[in-house]
Amino acid sequence: TSAALTLLGGSVAALVVWKWLGKKMIQKKMEEARRTRDEGMKKMAKAVQQFREQVPSVQRDAILSLPLLELTGRLQEGSLSPRTVLYTYIEKVSALEVTQQTNCVRHFIPECEEQLQEIQRHQEKGLLYGIPVSIKDHIGHKGHLATCGLVQCLDTLMEEDSVLVRVLKKQGAIPFAMTNVPQSLLSYECSNPIFGQTLNPLNPQKCPGGSSGGEGALIAGGGSILGIGSDSGGSIRLPSSFCGLCGLKPTAERLRWVLGLPFQPCSWPSLAKGEKCWAIPCAMGPMARDVDSLALCMKALLCQEMFQLDPTVPPIPFDEQVYSSSTPLRVGYYDTDGYFPLPPCMRRAVRETRRALQAAGHQLVLFSPPRVPYVMNELFMKTFFADGGRAWLDVFTGDIVDPGLKPQVNSCKIPRPVKKLLALLLKPLQFLLLLKLKDVTMISTCRSVREMWNHHHQIQVYRAQFITQWKELQLDVVLCPVLGPAFTTGYPRKLLSAISSTMLYNVLNFPAGVVPVSTVTEADEEELKLYKGCCDDPWDRTLKQAVAGGVGLPVAVQCVALPWQEELCLRFMKEVETLSREK
């Protein structure tokens, strides 16, 4: 007996030591990653200092204030040099004006200096000649990590540029910074244990959204003029809404970026690899200060280089005629999706935009998106957690889970029999428990291949029904709300299902963009006090707390078109932007 106890005690001690050593190894890797980032910051700051000594007369503020179209014009004609523009933007970031406030940059790309020399050797100037571009953490750049905020991804450097980066470079752009993301990308609170929490430059108490939150914070803080993000549930549109930017989620297959990239940055299936997340695809898209910038970026990317590097991208160049058209539009609209009532200011934005569009000669038609609760609870959640979240949990093996993800991680760890029991007990309250309990305990999984095929079929059936309803009303585009204004840090983790407004168009795979049209007013804050949401339940009250104290923050709307009609979506976004600026 004593020998058995001794053996047991030794085994327990060995296990404790093994776990302690594992944690120490994780901490060491994270510290090394942060040290590498900080050294990169110092290196770029030194390069900026050398540039300032050589060219002391640069009017930095004037350059930073130029819209993208004007900046490209100045670069093309030669009145501004790519070197001056690049170092002006690097200085804005590396001088800690943006990074100290927001912690948005994951890493500088020192090879930007090589790309600067490369574009100056060529006579032909691409559409983005000399434009510094920031890219989201997981977009592959040769010689750099694609971390997804995960320790297990800190060991593998990209062997070559992703297709998207190669096309940007071909068009003369200079990728110069990689931006922070939430751990595993499955969150709209931009935080991970390696590089920390990113804050909103418009209000440090607020978060910038996610998962392209680093992009949102960097552009809104003035440290980048054009960024590339990705969107599987709102990850371009939510940061754009929270940070007052324009952002476009295209039809997923219109831009691709993984062909020729021999890496798997992490095992969380498609979010990190830019592939389809089962039946719901991940889309890549631009983020910028205005709609014209998005259009220019799409025009630059939809080129022969993209089509040759990735033959799976349909060879459809950007249709400038559609984007420049002034033909009146037939616009469907709604200010609530019937699933998660948004704060009063977001609904006000839709109503005001609807009136402005009518006054401008467009035809407005009330549109009700069908069965959004079904889309959220069955189609979307079941797609992401078809296996009960086991594939997602695997990426946290030997890792530290960020506090922002702990509620979801812990819920996925609940044994299936317990989930089934809870789902049965809570079914009578299913309508009331729109949020957390639904997310945590009632997500049905696909228990067989047959069920998975049927699930895919149900998504196709819903898309067909949605398009039929759209066509019956003869709509060109749809105007609808987007989640906002910016949440106070810590709240996104409590309100996963609040993003139904954006998730819907990932399930449908429709192009959708966000345009800021207003700001939160004192009157909005007063009306928020009366907000009761769907049932005035704990989650409605949580949303109220999340957006409180938002006076002056951006208020946006969402613009949607049918698949493959990015130009029409952008044209509608431009119209909304113009009318809001006139107002």
Cα separation, 579 vs 583, in Å, equals 6
User: Residue 494: CB partners within 8 Å, gap ≥ 6?
Assistant: 407, 436, 539, 542, 546
In this prediction the pTM is 0.93
Tokens of 202: 């418009």
User: What is the pLDDT at residue 440?
Assistant: 43
Q: Domain coordinates of the chain in residue numbers?
A: 16-318, 324-385+450-582, 387-445
Cα separation, 473 vs 467, in Å, equals 10
Residues in the chain: 583
Which residues are part of the catalytic machinery? Answer: 136, 211, 235
pLDDT in tens, the chain (583 residues): 777 767 776 677 777 777 778 889 999 999 999 999 999 999 998 999 999 999 999 999 999 999 999 999 999 999 999 999 999 999 998 766 788 899 999 999 999 999 999 999 988 999 999 999 999 999 999 999 999 999 999 988 999 999 999 999 999 999 999 999 999 999 999 999 999 999 999 999 999 999 999 999 999 999 999 999 999 999 999 999 999 999 999 999 999 765 333 333 344 444 444 444 457 889 999 999 999 999 999 999 999 999 999 999 999 999 999 999 999 999 999 999 999 899 999 999 999 999 999 999 999 999 999 999 999 988 988 887 778 788 888 888 888 999 989 888 888 888 877 767 776 776 665 544 444 444 444 456 777 888 888 989 999 999 999 999 999 999 999 999 999 999 999 999 999 889 999 999 999 999 999 999 999 999 999 999 999 888 778 888 999 999 999 999 999 999 999 999 999 999 999 999 999 998 7
Q: What are phi and psi of 258, to 5 degrees?
A: -110, -15
User: What is the pLDDT at residue 418?
Assistant: 78
User: What is the pLDDT at residue 439?
Assistant: 46
Tokens of 119: 């574009």
Q: Give the closest residue to 271 by CA, choosing from 280, 261, 262.
A: 280
Q: For the chain, count helices (H), then strands (E).
A: 24, 15
Cα separation, 229 vs 237, in Å, equals 10
User: What is the pLDDT at residue 444?
Assistant: 62
Tokens of 242: 């929270």
Fold match between domain 16-318 and domain 324-385+450-582: yes
Torsion on CA atoms 522, 525, 527, 532, rounded to nearest 10: 180
Token pair 């803080």 in the structure block, residue:
221
Q: What are phi and psi of 145, to 5 degrees?
A: -80, 155
The structural architecture, per CATH, of the domain 16-318 is Alpha-Beta Complex (3.90)
User: What is the pLDDT at residue 533?
Assistant: 84
Q: What is the DSSP string of 262-297?
A: ---S-SSTTTTTTSEETTEE-EEEEEESSHHHHHHH
Angle between helices 566-582 and 344-359 (to 10 degrees): 90
Torsion on CA atoms 365, 280, 133, 145, rounded to nearest 10: 160
User: What is the pLDDT at residue 429?
Assistant: 57
211 forms beta bridges with none
Q: Where are the alpha helices (DSSP H) in 78-130?
A: 82-94, 99-102, 112-121
Contact 119, 129 (CB under 8 A): yes
The structural architecture, per CATH, of the domain 324-385+450-582 is Alpha-Beta Complex (3.90)
Token pair 């295209």 in the structure block, residue:
250
Angle at 248 between CA 111 and CA 86, to 5 degrees: 25
User: What is the pLDDT at residue 512?
Assistant: 98
Q: Give the closest residue to 206 by CA, choosing from 247, 235, 241.
A: 241
pLDDT in tens, 524-537: 999 999 998 887 78
